[in-house]
Structure 1
């Protein structure tokens, strides 16, 4: 079961859109034994994109309390598996690093 709030689902979509084609391109260019370098590259780019998108979406912005009309700072709430979206950028970068190391050790 996938759990997200707000635009948190973009973590999965960005990782799939950038990681999948990069893997296929690396398979064509480098061969099937080194295609995981494409996966690692796609995940690294996805990590950067997710970090900046999450930082932008979760940044506080001024708003008003609908009951009192008092100014408040609103924002946040874009999570994927209960983790704020921007932190998934670091997870994707770590997955990229692990994929690179595993590919190098297996090659």
Structure 2
């Protein structure tokens, strides 16, 4: 079961759109043994994209309280598995780093 709120599903979609073609491109260019470098590169790009998109979507917006008319800041909540979208950028970069290290160790 995939849990998201707002546009949080973009984390999965961006990761698939950037990670998948990176894997196939690396398999063609580097061979099947090193195709995980393409996955790592695609996930790194996805992490950067998700961070900036999450920052933009989750920024607070000024508004007015409907009952009192006082100015307030409304926060958006775009999450994927209860984690705000912009933090998934760091998680994806971490997964990319782990994938790179595991692939390098596997080549030894």
Q: Provide the TM-score with structure 2 as the length reference.
A: 0.94
> What's the CA shift for 1:61?
1.1
2:11 is equivalent to residue 11 of structure 1: yes
2:76 is equivalent to residue 90 of structure 1: no
* Residues 23-42 of structure 1: pairs in structure 2 closer than 5 A: 23-42=23-42
**C-alpha RMSD over aligned residues:** 0.9
> What's the CA shift for 1:70?
2.7
How many residues are treated as equivalent by the alignment?
Answer: 107
Partners of 1:65 and 1:80 in 2: CA distance? 28
Could you report, residue by residue, the CA deviation over 1:58-79 in whole angstroms, capped at 9, with x for unpaired residues? Answer: 1111122233333211122000
Unaligned runs of 5+ in 2: none
Moved over 4 A (4+): none
Secondary structure of 2:28's partner? helix
Secondary structure of 2:2's partner? coil
Deviates more, 1:67-76 or 1:46-55: 67-76
Q: Is the 8 A contact 1:57 1:75 kept in 2?
A: no
